[in-house]
Structure 1
C-alpha cells in the first residue's frame, strides 16, 4: 500500500511517496501553486495519486517545539479536509516539528547548493514527514503482534 506524504506550505507543497510495502519514503517533487488557483495543485496531486496508486495521505501538521499547533496548523487541517473530499482517501495529520530544519541539514551535508536547496527542501521535508509516519506505524504493528 503506497502512502503519500505532503509538506504543505504557502506557495509550495513537497511530495513524497512510500514504496509499495510502506517501508521507505522517496521524494517525488515540489509543486508550486498560487493560493487562489489551488485547482492546479489538486490536479497535479490527482495525477500523482493515480500514477503511484496512492491509498492514503499524510499531511504535515506544524507544531512549535513544545508541541502546540502553530498558526499554520489551521491551514494544514483545512488542506487535509479538502484532500479527503476531493480524493476520497484517508488523510492523517502528522507532527512535522523540525522537519524543514532537518531537511536543510541533510541537504547541506550532501553539499547541495543554496539555490538547489530552495527547490527541493519542501520535498525533502515531505520525505522526513512520511518516513517518521511509516516508522511509527511499523513500530506500532510490531508492538501489537
Structure 2
C-alpha cells in the first residue's frame, strides 16, 4: 500500500487509460467495524456498500475482502477516514476508541502483502458518525441494524466529502 496526497489519488485515476471506469472505496474504520462506501463510475457520488467486522486476528481476511472488492468493482484507491484537527492536520495519530491507531490498521493491511499496488489517502472523518447518528435517531431502527447503517453511511460521508473536494479542485485545473 502506498500513501498519496488526496488530490494526487484522484488525478492518478483520471489519467489512467483503461476502458473500465475506476472507482474509489471509502473506509470508516472503527474499533469493531469498518464501514465501506463506493463511488459511482463517474466518481461523483458515494454509495453505501457494506460493513466488515474488525478484530485483532482477522486482518488477513479483511485484506482478502479488499482484494475481492478491488477486483469486482475496479477500485483504484482507498479513501480512509482519519480524524483531523481544526487546522486539517492529523489528530493524535488516528487513535480510535480501543486505542488502536489508524496508522496501525493501515500498517497491518500493508503487512499482509495482498494490497501492494493499492494507493490510499486520508480524508477528514470528524463528525461523520455523529451527523449520521442524528439523522437515524428519529427512525426507531433496531440497534444492530442502526449500527451497520451508521458505519456504512459514515463511510459515505467520508468518501462524498473527498469526491466533492477533488471534483471541485480538478474542475478548476485549466484544461489543455
Distance in 1 between residues matched to 2:30 and 2:157, nearest whole Å: 15
2:77 is aligned, of 39, 46, 56, to: 56
Q: Is there any run of 5+ residues in structure 2 with no aligned partner, and where? A: 1-21
Verify: 1:11 aligned to 2:37, yes or no.
no
Structure 1 runs of 4+ with >4 Å offset: 64-68, 81-85
Contact 1:103 1:124 (C-alpha < 8 Å) held by counterparts: yes
Structure number with the higher helix fraction is 1
Question: Paired residues, what number?
Answer: 144
Q: Is there any run of 5+ residues in structure 1 with no aligned partner, and where? A: none
Give the TM-score taking structure 2 as reference length. Answer: 0.73
Distance in 2 between residues matched to 1:144 and 1:14, nearest whole Å: 32
CA RMSD of aligned residues (A): 2.2
Alignment of 1:51-130 (within 5 A): 51-63=72-84, 69-70=91-92, 72=95, 75-83=101-109, 86-87=114-115, 88-108=117-137, 111=139, 113-115=141-143, 116-130=145-159
What is the DSSP-based 3-state SS (H/G/I as helix, E as strand, rest coil) of the residue aligned with 2:51? strand
Contact 1:12 1:33 (C-alpha < 8 Å) held by counterparts: yes
Give the TM-score taking structure 1 as reference length. Answer: 0.87
What is the DSSP-based 3-state SS (H/G/I as helix, E as strand, rest coil) of the residue aligned with 1:129? helix
